[in-house]
Each structure stands twice: as structure tokens, then as C-alpha cells.
Amino acid sequence: MNAFSYARPRTLADALRLLRNGAAALAGGTDLVGLMKDGLTRPTTLVDLTGIDGLRGWSHPKGRGIRIGALTPLVELETDQSLAKTMPILREALRDAATVQLRTMGTVGGNLLQRNRCWYFRDEGTPCWLKGGTRCFAVDGENRYHAIIGAQECVMVSPSDLVPALIAYDAEIALTSSRGQRSMKLIDLFVAPRGRERREHSLRPGELITEVRVPEAALARRGTYVKAMDRKAWSFALVSIAAAAKIERGVARDVRLVMGGIAPVPWRVIAAEKGLEGSPLDEAACADAADRMLTGATPLRDNGYKVTLARELVRRALRSLVA
């Protein structure tokens, strides 16, 4: 690990002033510190965000949607009874994410910005394409956990459980930097690495996520999160899906399907969602949606099983919305 300085500002303005010249934001540290120990990132300064007031907790001003501070620990979202009623997909997604210790330390912002779990990427001695090398070692190597769809030069997969759940609620993020503020749809934070874009996120240097916003209208959807894992705990998704819809007189409206673990970005196919508009979510409609979600899938040597698994998870998640 390289030598670095440490600062714990008390205001957002001070944090933004410190976040320059190779400094990195520190939230729970559950991903960042591991990356530093493994020599995969070498910040000059760690800017600890945990001393800043107002970035933690969530609120639901009447009729104006939900706001979740970026420094809110994952466990708070998982255990809050009132939030579980309003956004049930969140609790389902977080229940099987990491361990309770990691969910206690890990924060919302850090979860959205965690790096991928490709083992070649995580190995300091392997100079793969995403780290500036010339080739992706996973394409011809051990690729059981890698992408089946949507990948170009890099076949890593989007690892977060929280992200598909939030996107199923049309979440947006608020960003701030010394240059000003902006907001974007959460799904637009994610970048499939390709060409000159050897990165996973579209965050700009010196920028912080301050909060996640969910519009009131999205809270009318019911939904579920289904995750397939190798083992019951400490396991990233082999394949996951957040499915949400309004069910009106037995048919689906306003459907959202967002998958994790199969592509370098959270995987959403608008045609699959539109195809379910007005559908009773019967077996035929669910099979058709699964086909549309996976159109163009090209599995690697070891991960053909993900196509079958993904198809079954789409079916199961959608059927549960009308069960």
C-alpha cells in the first residue's frame, strides 16, 4: 500500500476542496481499502466523508418521493420497517448482499461505485485490459462468473445488488463537485468499458454522490428481487433480477426489469418491459420477456449456464408479481 494522507472534513464544501490531485473519497471503506491493500488504487489522500452532516439517513416528504443520503449504511435501508413497506425490493435485494458486518459498514454511495469482482482485475500482478493492459484474460481464461451479454473489450459484470433494485424504482442520483451540481438517472452512472473508456462509472473527477432520489410515482409498483448465488452468504450474484410493475385488474403496467451479474452494466431491455404492458404475466408472456432480455447473449466457454439461469429468474420474478 502506498503512503497517503487522511482528512475528515466536517462540511461538503471542505470535502470538495480536498478531493483533487489524486485524492479519493472514503465512505465505509469495505471496497476501497481492499483495493488499496492490493495495490489496485493509490490515492494520495483519503477524504473520509463520515464526518459530514446531512449525507446520512432517508426521508419521504409527503407525495415528493424518497431521498436517501449517500452515506446511509446499507443495513439501515434493510432493517427500516417503514421503508420495507414503501420500497420492498430494497430489503429483498440487501438481505442477501454481502454479510451483516459489511452492510453495517458499507454505504449506499460506496455500493453504487464499488469496482467489479473479476479475479484477474483483483489480482495486482495481472495487467488486464481494464487496468491499461492489452488483453482481457477472462475471455480465454476462467470465465464462469463473467458477462454473457453487452460486453465489448471487458467481460466483467455489474456486481451490486442494490443497483438493480433502485433502478427498478427509476432512481436518480444527485452529484456535486467544486464545479457545481447535477443529477442523472442512476442507470446512466454505469459504463460498459469499451474503446478509450476503460472505466465502469461515469462519475467525474472530484465529484461526489450526495443522495439517491426515487420519484413518488415509482412507489406504486410492487416488485421483487431474485438472486442466484454459489453459496448462501458472502456471495455476489451469479444472476439477479429486480422486477417491478403496477398490477391493475390482473394485468401489468409500467414494468421494470433490471438484471445484475450478466453484463458489465445493470441490464435493462426496454422492449422486454414494453412487451409486458397490459399482460396478465402468464407463462407465455414471461417466456417472451425472458427471450427479449437475453436477445444477443453470447456466453463464454464456462458461463453458458447463466443463460438458462437468467431465463428462469426472469420467469420466476415476473410470475411472483401476480401470485
Ligand X SMILES: Cc1cc2nc3c(=O)[nH]c(=O)nc-3n(C[C@H](O)[C@H](O)[C@H](O)COP(=O)(O)OP(=O)(O)OC[C@H]3O[C@@H](n4cnc5c(N)ncnc54)[C@H](O)[C@@H]3O)c2cc1C
Q: Is 262 a binder of ligand SF4 (CB under 6 A)?
A: no
- Contact predicate 242/320, CB 8 Å: no
Chain centroid to CA 136: 22
Phi-psi region of 281 (alpha: psi -120 to 50; beta: other; left: phi over 0): left
- Cβ 42 to ligand X shortest distance, Å: 12
Q: Which is nearer to ligand SF4, 172 or 200 (CB)?
A: 200
Residues 151-180 that bind ligand SF4 (CB under 6 A): 154-156
Neighbours of 118 (CB within 10 A): 26
Q: Which is nearer to ligand SF4, 137 or 169 (CB)?
A: 137
Contacts of 82 (CB under 8 A, 6+ apart): 60
120 binds, among ligand X, ligand SF4, none (CB under 5 to 8 A by kind): ligand SF4
- Contact predicate 48/7, CB 8 Å: yes
Element (H, E) at 5: strand 5-7
Q: Is 138 a binder of ligand SF4 (CB under 6 A)?
A: yes
Residues 69-128 that bind ligand SF4 (CB under 6 A): 116, 118, 120-121, 128
Q: Is 129 a binder of ligand SF4 (CB under 6 A)?
A: yes
106 binds, among ligand X, ligand SF4, none (CB under 5 to 8 A by kind): ligand X
What's the CA gap between 40 and 115, in Å, rounded? 10
Q: Which is nearer to ligand SF4, 182 or 199 (CB)?
A: 199
- Contact predicate 202/175, CB 8 Å: no
113 binds, among ligand SF4, ligand X, none (CB under 5 to 8 A by kind): ligand X
Q: Is 66 a binder of ligand SF4 (CB under 6 A)?
A: no
156 binds, among ligand X, ligand SF4, none (CB under 5 to 8 A by kind): ligand SF4
Q: Which is nearer to ligand SF4, 25 or 128 (CB)?
A: 128
Using alpha carbons, list the distances in angstroms from residue 181 to 49, 55, 172, 204. Answer: 18, 15, 13, 12
Residues within the interface to ligand SF4 (CB under 6 A): 116, 118, 120-121, 128-130, 136-138, 146, 154-156
